[in-house]
Structure 1
Amino acid sequence: MKKQFLVGALTLAMVGAFAQAPQKPISYSISFPNAQHHEAEVAMTISPAPGGPLVLHMSRSSAGRYATHEFGKNVYNVKATDSNGRALIIKQIAGDVYQIANHGNAVKVSYTLYANWTDGTYAGIDQSHAHLNMPAVFMWLAGAEKRPIRFEFQDLQKYNWKVATQLKHEEANIYSAPNMQYMMDSPTELSDFKETHWNVTNSDGKKERINLTVHSNDDQGTIDNLGQMVQKVVQEEKAVFGELPTYDYGEYTFLDDVYPNNAGDGMEHRNSTCIVDAADKVAGNEIGLLSTFAHEYFHSWNVKRIRPKSLEPFDFTHANMSNELWFAEGFTQYYGELLLVRAGFHDVNEYGATLSGLVNSVLITPGAMKYPATEMSRKSVFTDAGVAIDPTNYQNNFTTYYYYGGAIALALDLRLRSEFNLTLDDYMRSVWLSRGRVMKPYTVADLQTDLGAITKSPKFAADFFDKYINGIEKNDYEALLAKAGLVLRKRAPGRPWIGLPPDFTGGRAAILRGVGAGYPIVISPVKNTPVYKAGLDAGDVIVKADGKDVTDAASVNAVFADKKPGDKVTIIYNNRSGQHTTTLLVEESPALEIVTFEKTGLSLSANQKAFRGAWLSSKVK
């Protein structure tokens, strides 16, 4: 606690001391003499340096990520010198915080960065590329958040690299950012990527350039083809809002990195998005990759400009909690998939499978049945790529706000269409004009007000928010989907189901297998499943089922393959307290699926056909 207080006090002191200093750039230089071992050398020059102690941070969180990630763990060899190269005393006062108490007018801080995780949160360096998420790479000076930033990227010719970024290109290998927030929001890819681009004429007649850069094992023709596909998605998204955002410097850039050992991710930014695919190449995988493109590009309106007040400004020193992620991420999840249908990349049958995931998330998961969307949003500080060694019980107390919010968006879209002759597009456009375009951060109450305004029914808006967003009631999805000629039904009626948790072969499973023969349960079962009701839990090792020896998930499932819902099966299992016997009652899975009327043999009425067409057809004029 004392250390935290000291850092806070020094930071406040620095704000006051720096207020009178000239706003000259803080400069960074990054080089890669040891790229084959995933290291970079970073130098940060502060000139002029403000008076008083300097407090330098490595970030603990990253724009677009809501949990903490402790980027300071991969920084070492931290040194400080003055303008003459003389060593200064730099003291590590917290895991990710350094202090220089005594210094002159200019200070240079240098350190080694280790980076070997290519995704949207961390950084990855090897001889093929430097994939840089800025909070994971660059220290920053407390109190200097408004100073402009200058970057110099070294070794580009050595590795035959180019620069893809939303940073402003000044000259040669020099780039800039107007302030720290923009810098942190500017992922940068240094590699021999391939590129294609096109112009989009905005509603005001101005043209904005969209760049697609892809670092992958593909030829230029493949990238050009992917660009044409992404261009269709961009046009459909523009049609939702009626216009593109005004991108800084007139450009938006997709940064795509494709390689099998990538972590896989998508991360939105103000004028770019970082997309990381764990595939061998783009060719043959285009349709599968488009989902991330559609989702992340929608964020250039929803999140980066239609901005939750709880995330403004973003704090890089701790987790950033928000009540609004059901809208920021969930509504984006809904649109990302819907727009692929409108753009012609998926048909209604494929879309039904997507909608099934959304509806199941709110109707049958324990988290959604017990907790509102706002509370699930707040859990992002633990669940948004958060890392934990100890087991969690998220399967019973958390439903992802991506799907929870996506299901709410689906219901609201269908209700607006059927009850008000409006669409969710109309609502999103209204929120864009009142909040996003003018960069006026919103709260949950603001979103309710906007819904009341567009429907001209504050009562409907209040009821919807009270029940489905702040409360845990669920919309009537069966009736709503029927309006578009879609059937919500049981996925596996009459088939046996026991709700066995996923099978894992490493970690705790290996430890539990060492306890003795049998099938170990590694993850706690979901509540209300037959396995849970039978009293089985993580740490138990099933040795017999229905009198048969079992050794793995397949042998357990084989026992139940010919059972029927209502059958009772005796289970013998071991745990630390000894051997136990329980009775498991076989049930029918609660999982649902959404299929077309046509697939079930039902006739599609003219009204249903028109409703479906208005919902799923292209809006590009």
Structure 2
Amino acid sequence: MKKLPLMLAYAALSICAAFAQPAPKPIYYTVSFLNAAHHEAEITLTIPKAPTGIIDLRMSRSSPGRYATHEFGKNVYNVKAFDPDGTPLLINQVEGDHYEIAEHGEAVKVSYTLFANWTDGTYASVDASHAHLNMPAVFLFINNLGQEKREIRVEFNDLDKYGWKVASQLKHEGVNVYSAPNFQYLMDSPTELSAYKTSSWEVANPDGKKQKINLTIHSADDQSTIDAFGKMVQKVTLEEQAVFGELPAYDYGQYTFLEDIYPSNSGDGMEHRNSTCIVDASEKVAGNEIGLLGTFSHEFFHAWNVERIRPKTLEPFNFTHANISNELWFAEGFTQYYGELILTRAGFYTSDEYTRVVGGLVNAILNTPGAAKYSAVEMSRKAVFTDAGVSIDPNNYLNNFTSYYTYGGAIALALDLKLRSDFNLTLDDYMRAVWLERGKKMKPYTVADLQDELAKLTKDAKFATDFFKRFVNGTDKNDYNALLVKAGLIMRKAQPGKAWIGLSSASIRGRSGQVQATGSTGLTLIGNSLMGSPIYNAGIDAGDVILTADGKKITDPASFNQVINNKKPGDKVQVTYRNRAGDHEATITLTENPAFEIITFEKAGMQPNAAQLAFRNNWLSSKIK
């Protein structure tokens, strides 16, 4: 070893000493359930080496997998702060979800009560049967710079009292203590405390490495039902593994489905890095297996697409405000497409059943005002308002928003069929290429990156540029009829010759019984009328009360529908209606229902040729080798 000059040696020793400094002790939470019957949890946050200056404490306003804001701070109260010896500290509530501690010692403890009574993928719920914990809805966190990198440990108390076990992607450290390497990981780790049942299996990657997948279900089912359902879920996971060629490398070698089933639940599915939270409002699994599988298929696909194939706009995820993204048409929309396609490949849908799914995608992109006016990228950016966003005032989403789930799903459908017919490639090939170049390397992407990957795969930059310019960044629509014919599928009007006014049953309600004492009758529009529909073109909209149609008194939906059902496209209906501006008359010119349906040649009484059958089979058949 070469001798160092004296001053350089001292400097080197100083650097070594700096690196040798022990990492600060973990931030520590304890969660207790002294009043679970009334949906409360008592939480303490211990900061062993508190940041100097003002400690900035916050509740999250957003949650992984959710893009709109949610005011989690409203359910936190009795917030107090102490020194380690129990001496109270002054804690100032700056905003509803924001607290500050200005004067404190080296260690600080904060305690508070959490109210939790909403079981879904975004919020939290506590009762005597379980504690369903989505972490952003549970934990007050330190927002000071640098604190997000500290290890975090969480202790769950009272498990024996309620007979609960812990299901989580957090690392088990012993007894009832679990850890996260940093703040982002904690917030991405939903946890279920309950007497759940488990079914587990091992899956091997092509390199021979085995990983474990756990199905945990809190429901009224017996173990045999859970085991049987586990075999169904396993078929889905294997089909998705076949798309990408491998499973991701899960932390600690495990992936966990956290499912809670109970009639009062709010149905939801929420993806996370090594787990997914699935909530359903059914009575139990038994008898509802196929209906449940769609959520499992969608959320497990996210283990690749979103959790690792990650939009740059979501990195890092910000918990203090909404996270706007340009890429949800791909992150959610392509996942939506595969979620249903996988069920077909796994044998849970027939071809005829799958055509109904395809019909939904086609109608979403061809028959909604939002898709006609705005691009998939623009619709993705609307997620900050529409992704379970909470508001009490009316909106015009019917006419200015098409879900990026179905919008993106329709784009995925078209791209898959184009790749198959024009390039002898598939969307599986594209997803695998994006996985290997982006997801596996954890390189976040932009829309332009996705275009580049398509150009490389097809070796046709002109095609990729045109596809993204027209169908992703623009509002052009693919020729779905021409694409679907290649698979022996027909796209046709769902109700040819059927008169259509542009109202659904959800848009109207009868008023006669509601305000009968005042003598008021009629049918009230409770939602906006659909842009371009006959009733919209007649100037009738939300809040208007239809009184008569063709001289007949209208008292309920049935009496109005009876008038319309006796008409044909092109017929006119004379209506009188009332609003705050007074009584009015209007002429509504009916049109043909614009909705499409997709059916197989066979169902239409036609015989597909060998090429069409081969195309369909290659598209919809199992990919498990």
Give yes or no for the alignment of 1:265 onto 2:268: yes
Higher mean C-alpha displacement, 510-519 vs 60-69? 510-519
SS at match of 2:585: strand
- Of the candidates 219, 240, 254, which is equivalent to residue 251 of structure 1? 254
Give yes or no for the alignment of 1:68 onto 2:69: yes
- Of the candidates 241, 246, 256, which is equivalent to residue 244 of structure 2? 241
Aligned to 2:113: 112
Deviation for aligned residue 1:297: 0.1
Residue deviations 1:288-327 (CA, integer Å, cap 9, x gap): 0000000000000000000000000000000000000000
Change (3 A) 1:531 1:507: closer
Give yes or no for the alignment of 1:602 onto 2:606: yes
Aligned to 2:283: 280
CA distance in 1, matches of 2:611, 2:37: 62
SS at match of 1:145: helix
CA distance in 1, matches of 2:210, 2:512: 56
Paired AA for residue 214 in structure 2: N
Higher mean C-alpha displacement, 300-309 vs 554-563? 554-563
1:512 and 1:539 in contact (8 A); partners too = no
SS at match of 2:611: helix
CA distance in 2, matches of 1:324, 1:486: 30
2:509 and 2:557 in contact (8 A); partners too = no
Aligned to 2:4: none
Paired AA for residue 549 in structure 2: A
Residue deviations 1:584-609 (CA, integer Å, cap 9, x gap): 11211100010000000111100000
Aligned to 2:567: 563
1:129 and 1:189 in contact (8 A); partners too = yes
CA distance in 2, matches of 1:509, 1:148: 62
Deviation for aligned residue 1:509: 12
Aligned to 1:26: 27
CA distance in 1, matches of 2:475, 2:38: 50
Give yes or no for the alignment of 1:193 onto 2:231: no
CA distance in 2, matches of 1:352, 1:533: 32
Aligned to 1:88: 89
1:520 and 1:541 in contact (8 A); partners too = yes
1:124 and 1:132 in contact (8 A); partners too = yes
Give yes or no for the alignment of 1:544 onto 2:545: no
Aligned to 1:580: 584
Aligned to 1:17: none
Residue deviations 1:374-409 (CA, integer Å, cap 9, x gap): 000000000000011100000000000000000000
Paired AA for residue 573 in structure 2: V
CA distance in 1, matches of 2:600, 2:457: 31
Change (3 A) 1:96 1:47: same
Aligned to 2:595: 591
Aligned to 2:305: 302
Deviation for aligned residue 1:504: 6.5
* Count, aligned residues: 602
Aligned runs of 1:215-226 on 2, under 5 Å?
215-226=218-229
Change (3 A) 1:509 1:95: farther
Paired AA for residue 213 in structure 1: T
Paired AA for residue 536 in structure 2: Y
Deviation for aligned residue 1:368: 0.3
Residue deviations 1:383-439 (CA, integer Å, cap 9, x gap): 000011100000000000000000000000000000000000000000000000000
- Of the candidates 471, 478, 501, which is equivalent to residue 481 of structure 2? 478
2:212 and 2:255 in contact (8 A); partners too = yes
Change (3 A) 1:510 1:56: farther
- Of the candidates 591, 595, 619, which is equivalent to residue 615 of structure 1? 619
CA distance in 2, matches of 1:568, 1:467: 37
Higher mean C-alpha displacement, 579-588 vs 389-398? 579-588
Residue deviations 1:272-302 (CA, integer Å, cap 9, x gap): 0000011011000000000000000000000
Aligned to 1:6: none
Q: TM-score, normalised by structure 2?
A: 0.95
Deviation for aligned residue 1:24: 2.1
- Of the candidates 459, 466, 484, which is equivalent to residue 456 of structure 1? 459
2:61 and 2:70 in contact (8 A); partners too = yes
CA distance in 2, matches of 1:535, 1:318: 38
Give yes or no for the alignment of 1:337 onto 2:337: no
Give yes or no for the alignment of 1:179 onto 2:182: yes
Paired AA for residue 570 in structure 2: G
1:42 and 1:112 in contact (8 A); partners too = yes
SS at match of 1:402: helix
Aligned to 2:44: 43
**Unpaired runs of 5+ in structure 2?**
1-20
Residue deviations 1:5-60 (CA, integer Å, cap 9, x gap): xxxxxxxxxxxxxxx99432110001111111111111100001121110001000
1:67 and 1:384 in contact (8 A); partners too = yes
Residue deviations 1:541-571 (CA, integer Å, cap 9, x gap): 1111111111222221122121111111111
How much identity, in percent, do the aligned residues show? 66
Aligned runs of 1:427-446 on 2, under 5 Å?
427-446=430-449
Change (3 A) 1:447 1:212: same
CA distance in 2, matches of 1:332, 1:442: 16
Change (3 A) 1:399 1:505: closer
Give yes or no for the alignment of 1:293 onto 2:296: yes
Aligned to 1:10: none
Change (3 A) 1:454 1:564: same
Give yes or no for the alignment of 1:357 onto 2:345: no
SS at match of 1:594: strand
CA distance in 2, matches of 1:263, 1:372: 30
Change (3 A) 1:54 1:336: same
Change (3 A) 1:380 1:453: same
Give yes or no for the alignment of 1:170 onto 2:173: yes
Aligned to 2:421: 418
Paired AA for residue 25 in structure 1: P
Aligned to 2:7: none
CA distance in 2, matches of 1:261, 1:509: 32
1:496 and 1:560 in contact (8 A); partners too = yes
Change (3 A) 1:260 1:435: same
Aligned to 1:77: 78
2:510 and 2:523 in contact (8 A); partners too = no
Paired AA for residue 180 in structure 2: A
Give yes or no for the alignment of 1:369 onto 2:354: no
SS at match of 1:290: helix
Aligned to 1:128: 129
CA distance in 1, matches of 2:516, 2:65: 39
SS at match of 1:234: helix
1:210 and 1:252 in contact (8 A); partners too = yes
Change (3 A) 1:495 1:190: same
CA distance in 1, matches of 2:111, 2:508: 43
CA distance in 2, matches of 1:559, 1:31: 61
Change (3 A) 1:459 1:487: same
Larger radius of gyration: 2
1:501 and 1:521 in contact (8 A); partners too = no
Change (3 A) 1:523 1:28: same
CA distance in 2, matches of 1:21, 1:95: 36
1:80 and 1:109 in contact (8 A); partners too = yes
Deviation for aligned residue 1:518: 1.0
**Unpaired runs of 5+ in structure 1?**
1-19
Change (3 A) 1:509 1:533: farther
Change (3 A) 1:504 1:368: closer
1:259 and 1:279 in contact (8 A); partners too = yes
Q: What is the alpha-carbon root mean square deviation over aligned residues? A: 1.6
Aligned to 1:100: 101
2:153 and 2:178 in contact (8 A); partners too = yes
Paired AA for residue 263 in structure 1: S
Change (3 A) 1:273 1:508: farther
